[in-house]
Amino acid sequence: MVEVKVQSLGLDRSSNTPVVILQEKDGTRVLPIWIGPSEASAIAMELAGMKFARPLTHDLFGSVILGLGGALRRVLITRVVENTYYAEMIIQRGSEIFSIDARPSDSIAIALRMGASIYTSGELLDNNTIEIAEASEFADPGTQAQDEDEDVGGLRAEELKEYLRRLNPEDFGRFTP
C-alpha cells in the first residue's frame, strides 16, 4: 500500500461533479475519485479549517469512534469496480482491529478530521481510469486501458499518465462548498 494525501479538490467542468485528487505522499502519481457534493463540501471545509459550533456528520462519526474508545488508524482505498471506488476504515479499540466498509469520500473526510493516514495500492495509482475531454477539462470516468498502446480518450495510456503527473489544481474548476 502507498500512502496518499489530498492534493486538491475540484469540479469536473464537463459533468459538474466534484473530484478529489489523491497524490502519493512521496511521489507524483495521482488518483482522481469523483465524489458527491456533500462529501466534497465536508472535505473542502476541513481543508479550509472551517469549524462549526455543532458537529456535522463526519465530525459526529469521529466523535462516536473516540467515544467508544477507538481510534481511526488508517483509511485504505482498496479497489475500483465499474468506476466505483471502495474503501475500508481501519479502527482500533484496545487490541481489537475492525475493518469497516465505507465510501472513499466519507473515509477521506473522516480521516482528515481524525488525522489518520490514507493509503491505496500502487496498481490503482498506476491505472487511473479517466478520459481526457480536452487538455484542460476532464470527462466522466471511462474504461481502463488494457495495454500501454491502447488509446484512452484520444491519448495513449503512457501520455495520459504523464498528463496526470503534471496536473495542477487550476486544471479543474474551483469547488466551493
Q: What is the mean pLDDT of the chain?
A: 80
Q: Output 16 or 89, whichever has higher pLDDT.
A: 89
Half-sphere exposure of 36 (CA within 13 A, CB side): 10
What pLDDT, on a 0 to 100 scale, did the predictor assign at position 162?
A: 55
- 43: containing domain: 2-119
What pairing do the DSSP bridges indicate for beta strands 2-12 and 17-24? antiparallel
Pick the more confident residue, 58 or 137.
58
Alpha carbon 177 to chain centroid, angstroms: 17
Mean pLDDT, residues 47-60: 91
Confidence of residue 166 (pLDDT cuts 50, 70, 90): low
Predicted local confidence at residue 128, as pLDDT: 65
Q: Is residue 146 part of a domain?
A: no
Nearest to 109 by CA among 22, 169, 12, 28: 22
Residue 2: exposure state from Cβ atoms within 10 A (0-12, 13-18, ≥19): buried
pTM of the predicted protein model = 0.73
With respect to residue 142, please indicate whether it lies within any of the assigned structural domains: no
- Residue linked to cell 466551493: 176
**Band of the pLDDT at 143, cuts 50, 70, 90?**
very low
Which range is most confident: 16-20, 67-71, 138-142?
Answer: 67-71
In a domain, residue 70? The reply is yes
Average pLDDT over residues 8-32: 90
74-130, pLDDT tens digit by residue? Answer: 999 999 999 899 999 999 999 999 999 999 999 999 999 999 999 999 999 988 644
Do the domain assignments include residue 115?
A: yes
pLDDT at 172 over 80: no
Does the residue 137 lie in any domain? no
- The answer to whether position 76 is within a domain reads yes
Rounded to whole angstroms, how far apart are CA atoms 118 and 76?
A: 6
pLDDT of residue 87: 98
Q: What is the pLDDT, as a whole number, of residue 105?
A: 97
Task: Tell me what pLDDT residue 149 has.
Answer: 40
User: Coil, strand or helix: which one is 133?
Assistant: strand
CATH of residue 35: 3.10.690.10
Other CB atoms within 10 Å distance of the CB of residue 94: 7
Domains identified in the chain, total number:
1
With respect to residue 104, please indicate whether it lies within any of the assigned structural domains. yes
Cell of 29: 502519481
d(CA 103, CA 85): 7
Q: Determine, yes or no, domain membership for 162.
A: no
Provide the pLDDT for residue 83: 86
